[in-house]
A and B are shown apart, each in its own frame.
Chain A
């Protein structure tokens, strides 16, 4: 088994959670009221609807320091705005496909449906997602070179041999 270095041992993932006003944010509220525990690694942001979620918000979260993103919404067929959560699902799937081309593990962006009554379920899902992202490791590593770095020829030889 691979031994963990200091960076990995002290790693607390930051997950941005986009919740919809009508189901999933209320599920998170219910989780709080029912004293259902979920990790503080998630930072919840409330939207009116998962269909409001522009893919650029997810990209900015990932680029801006988050290690992962959790999108939540009403179950299919139960959207407060009829069918916007279907759009969220389609955008999520297309974005995830594209993110893999950018070298992002698809599991860093996840989607969970939760109704307003599913507080415990949502708390459980948040814990699962946080642990999965913890297992993937930090998205932003201290060893990452700046995005427009010059690589010396020695490194280049090494990288291509």
Chain B
């Protein structure tokens, strides 16, 4: 096949860890098929491309761009806008591009507080002059510019229109491969693409559907953090008091974490029909709290509930670990206050 007639593929990282690229390369020898099917137009992780190369492409030159990472600073935003312009199909790839993921947890605090922790107030720091990053610096060679650090982390879809979303932290390699095959079939053989705006490479229901653990009527007397308990290998983790986000998380991963005794972290985001993953989790967790009324131990109903909630460390960070940017509340009103009791 003529090199130039191949569909153009791009993959870019914004505020991310690089795990999405690793997961993509983890499709194994199929990566050779990707190279055969697509021409790589921009993929800084595996090949030497410059932003100038992308700027030089005509608009819509890239057929599919897999964009991973959240929008943390002005550089991320510029790249998102550039790649949106240059791409026919822009895919929000992975949990950060989907709903903000780990970077968006800093929406519980502020830009000022984040910079203070990173540059000024930390036992491992040596910054006696209190130097903070500037966006401009007058060097001998001329004026140097650095990206501006935003106060709020946003997902890709909050910055530019997104055609498809592949959720997951990272997306599972077999799901990535399925999607790439579908895209190649659409581009090369005219097969039909899924409707615009779809979440692809994932299921539609909750992770519980894929989890083979034994489900039972749940009544939880307290919650456990992973280090506080050795989970029973057969029973549902939530029944054992281990926070498992499976009930409020989209399927598609094969319930990998619960199968090995780790509660679902929630990386595939909320399932179809759920607006807010954290709200869904509050509903689920509150419904299974075990309390008695009339009370039989001298504690009021409210005290029992408070004691039970005390065993749940960091509700916001747990429920919105992967979805804070797209949560209804989106960010904290002011720098985060200590958890109120």
Contact = CB atoms under 8 A, between A and B. Distances in A.
Interface of A: 54-56, 59-60, 62-63, 76-77, 86-87, 89-91, 93-98, 100-104, 106, 139, 145, 147-151, 153, 156-157, 159-160
A147 B305 contact: no
Contacts of B333: 102-104, 139
Nearest to A57: B279
B339 interface: yes
Contacts of A94: 282, 285-286, 309, 312, 315
A150 B150 contact: yes
A148 B151 CA distance: 6
Contact of A160 (B74, B116, B314): B116
B287 A59 contact: no
B337 interface: yes
A95 B286 CA distance: 9
23 contacts: A55-B279, A55-B282, A56-B279, A56-B280, A56-B328, A76-B293, A77-B294, A86-B291, A90-B291, A93-B309, A94-B285, A94-B315, A95-B279, A97-B315, A100-B340, A101-B332, A102-B108, A103-B333, A104-B333, A139-B333, A151-B151, A153-B135, A159-B112
Interface in B299-341: 301-302, 305-306, 309, 312, 314-317, 319, 327-337, 339-341
B330 A98 contact: no
Interface residues of B, number: 56
A56 B286 contact: no
B285 A86 contact: no
A129 to B, nearest CB: 17
Contacts of B132: 153, 156-157, 160
Contact of B315 (A62, A101, A147): A101
A14 to B, nearest CB: 17
Residue of A76, A103, A151 with highest tally of chain B CB at under 10 A: A103
Nearest to A51: B287
Given A77-B293, A98-B316, A59 B151 contact: no
B337 to A, nearest CB: 6
Contact of B287 (A90, A100, A102, A156): A90
Interface string B55-95: 00000000000000000001000000000000000000000
A136 B332 CA distance: 17
B238 to A, nearest CB: 15
Contacts of B335: 103
Nearest to A63: B328
Contact of A55 (B134, B283, B302): B283
Contacts of B178: none
Nearest to B278: A98
B329 A102 contact: yes
Contacts of B337: 100-101, 103
Given A60-B328, A94-B285, A101-B337, 11 more contacts: A76-B301, A86-B293, A87-B287, A90-B291, A91-B286, A101-B108, A102-B316, A102-B336, A106-B340, A150-B151, A160-B132
Interface in B98-141: 108, 110-112, 115-116, 120, 132, 134-135
B332 A89 contact: no
B328 A87 contact: no
A148 B150 contact: yes
Given A86-B291, A94-B282, A63 B329 contact: yes
Contacts of B334: 103
A147 B327 CA distance: 13
Kindly name the residue among A62, A106, A156 whose own CB sees the greatest number of chain B CB atoms within 10 A.
Answer: A156
B148 interface: yes
Contacts of B291: 86, 90
B276 interface: yes
A93 B303 CA distance: 11
A154 to B, nearest CB: 11
Contacts of B340: 96-97, 100, 106
B272 interface: no
A124 to B, nearest CB: 21
Contacts of A95: 279, 282
Contact of A90 (B74, B150, B289, B332): B289
Contacts of B285: 94
A106 B315 CA distance: 14
B305 A90 contact: yes
A59 B279 CA distance: 8
B152 interface: yes
A102 to B, nearest CB: 5
